[in-house]
Amino acid sequence: MKNIHPVFDQILGRQDKEAILNQKSIALWFTGLSGSGKTTIARHVEGELAKRGFFTQVLDGDNIRSGINNNLGFSEEDRHENIRRIAEVTKLFINCGVITLNCFISPTMKMRSLARSIISDKNFFEIFVDTPLDICEQRDVKGLYKKARAGEIKHFTGIDSPFEEPRNPNLHVKTHGETIEHCTSVIIDAILPIISLRNTK
Ligand code: ADP
């Protein structure tokens, strides 16, 4: 142990980091069908939070499946491993005081409760982005529904793979007939009291 100088007692904890960032960290977990609006709304929420000085990180398929999870496919086993790793990464961000915005279809109760149990209940804020399947299909942002209907993509959520609606989300946001700005402000109003250190002191 010569020349080893442990500094564990000097390591900053989550609360120290939250104090530096002047915020309370939490995972905002957006769940919903493909094309329901998870990414769009999360980006707008992130923008509104930035204006108010909050420090955030969006986690979505683009940065997770192309990186840390690029060895995973879409089998049942891989989907669960995908969510498990996302949840573990989220936990690290939360311990750094960062607010995460997680945009994953996460179609089953089992997946979401796995994420909730890893991240822990008190750090997990589930937002159900609720858009009817026919509207998501009309939007068909990435052309995936068309491919799924043509049988070119198998096990596509909402088409030949189930989406289990959350029974008791922290927030239920219906997007159809509403503007993106409205959906964003509903979320901002709900989370500001939770993430603000300044108002609760
Ligand atoms: P997801 O991330 O859930 O797959 P996206 O955010 O990529 O969905 O796509 C949602 C699409 O729906 C975008 O083209 C967006 O402009 C459109 N849209 C229309 N109305 C809304 C709304 N109220 N909230 C979110 N998205 C909306």
- For the domain that residue 154 is a member of, what is the CATH number? 3.40.50.300
Domain count, the chain: 1
pLDDT(120) > 70: yes
Looking at ligand 1, which residue's alpha carbon is closest to its atom 25?
37
Considering the domain boundaries, does residue 12 fall inside one? no
Distance from Cα 37 to the centre of ligand 1, integer Å: 3
**Nearest-angstrom CA–CA distance, 41 and 190:** 14
> Would you say 148 and 2 are in contact if contact means Cβ atoms under 8 Å apart?
no
Considering the domain boundaries, does residue 190 fall inside one? yes
* pLDDT grade for 7, boundaries at 50, 70 and 90: low
24 lines ligand 1 (CB under 6 A): no
According to the model, what pLDDT value does residue 4 have? 74
141 lines ligand 1 (CB under 6 A): yes
According to the model, what pLDDT value does residue 200 have? 44
The whole model's pTM is what?
0.93
Dihedrals phi, psi of 159, to nearest 5 degrees: -105, -65
Considering the domain boundaries, does residue 3 fall inside one? no
Distance from Cα 191 to the centre of ligand 1, integer Å: 20
Domain that holds residue 122: 20-194
* pLDDT grade for 8, boundaries at 50, 70 and 90: low
Considering the domain boundaries, does residue 59 fall inside one? yes
